[in-house]
Copies of this chain bind each other. A is one copy, B any other.
Amino acid sequence: MTINYFWQLDRHPVGHAFVDALSLRTETLAPLRPGEVRIRADWLSMDSGTRMWMSPRTDGYQPPLPLGSKMVGLALGRVVESRDPRFEDGTLVRGFGQWATYSTMLPDTAGMVALDESVADPREHIGALGMNGWTALVGVREVAAVKPGEWLAVSAAAGATGSLACQIGHNLGARVIGIAGGPEKRQWLLDELGCDVAIDYRNEDVAAVLAGIDGGVNAYFDNVGGPLLDAMLPNMAHYGRVAICGLVAGYAADKPLPGPARFDQILMRRLRVEGFFIPDFLHRGPELSEQLRAWLDAGRLAMRFDETVGLENVLDAYGRMLSGGNIGKVIVRLAP
């Protein structure tokens, strides 16, 4: 009998107060049902989007997770048991599993894929080659549709997706404006991510810096919503595009945040504002990964990891990610 440790959602958290909302529990692993695959997780990916699943709100892009469920999250690890012939024992895979030592998944529902073992750092499969990478690539190249020489702004630019969006914008020939909180992140954007302009929103007047951008901002990759979006809209170029990748500013709220005060600028500047959601693009994963892998191999794209060790420290890591205490991608290493 194998023991599984897992985090259970006991109640809906208020803001970032997860301590009373989730509890670390144990169970004896049940036998697999037909079609299921079980992995032992080497790493868990900490993603802001999953915060919405903890909420009782039914108006999000995912239904709320029922109380008493195991908390869900993206996991990277090797198959230890399988009732799906496509996934043999020992295969390195990624999929939507649980915050647990063992994740049990239905591969199609979980978006499970077998991974290329030739990637030097396997963590890049939940880094530059994972959903953060796909999100950044689709958002920058297709939704924000940035063209060479244009100005691309990125919010939460020191985070997992944002840091890739900056690098991808740079690789596509855009001039990149990274927005993040604090001088350390700001410096990193300039030194390592290819940003032409970096704004520390905690210590600088974002709107004033944006007002100085020659010709206005052509494309905005937004992870945040809220006040940064308000600062951005009146400083967009005509026919600018806003890719709404996330609205982190509102995820922890009990109700939606108000819309941007300068919504009128969508008309005045003939902007296109478009929400997108990367699970809609999973079928394009191989094609997207090919481009990302080419940049990774050329040294033009990489994730910086903020790694925490131990399942018992998941809540610390998750809260740090949501409050922007991290630089790069927050992951939790479980094994050994």
Residues of A near any B CB (own CB < 8 A): 59-61, 225, 234, 244-247, 250, 256-277, 280
User: Interface of chain A, helix or strand or loop or mixed?
Assistant: loop
Instruction: State the number of copies, please.
Output: 2
Bound form: Cα–Cα A280–B267 in Å: 12
Pick from B260, B271, B274: contact of A259, CB below 8 A.
Answer: B260
Instruction: Determine how close the nearest CB of chain B comes to the CB of A134; give it in whole angstroms.
Output: 15
Q: Are B234 and A268 in contact (CB under 8 A)?
A: no
B residues in contact with A261, CB < 8 Å:
256, 258-259
Given known A-B contacts A259-B259, A259-B261, A259-B262, A277 and B273 have beta carbons under 8 A apart: no
Q: Are B225 and A268 in contact (CB under 8 A)?
A: no
Q: Which one of A244, A259, A262, A264 has the highest number of Cβ atoms from chain B below 10 Å of its Cβ?
A: A264
Q: Are B273 and A247 in contact (CB under 8 A)?
A: no
Q: Select from chain B the residue with minimum beta-carbon distance to A262.
A: B256
Bound form: Cα–Cα A200–B269 in Å: 31
Q: Select from chain B the residue with minimum beta-carbon distance to A260.
A: B259
Q: Which 5 A-B pairs have the closest CB atoms?
A: A259-B259, A259-B263, A267-B275, A256-B264, A272-B274
Q: Select from chain B the residue with minimum beta-carbon distance to A264.
A: B256
Q: Select from chain B the residue with minimum beta-carbon distance to A239.
A: B280
Q: Are B270 and A272 in contact (CB under 8 A)?
A: no
Bound form: Cα–Cα A213–B260 in Å: 27
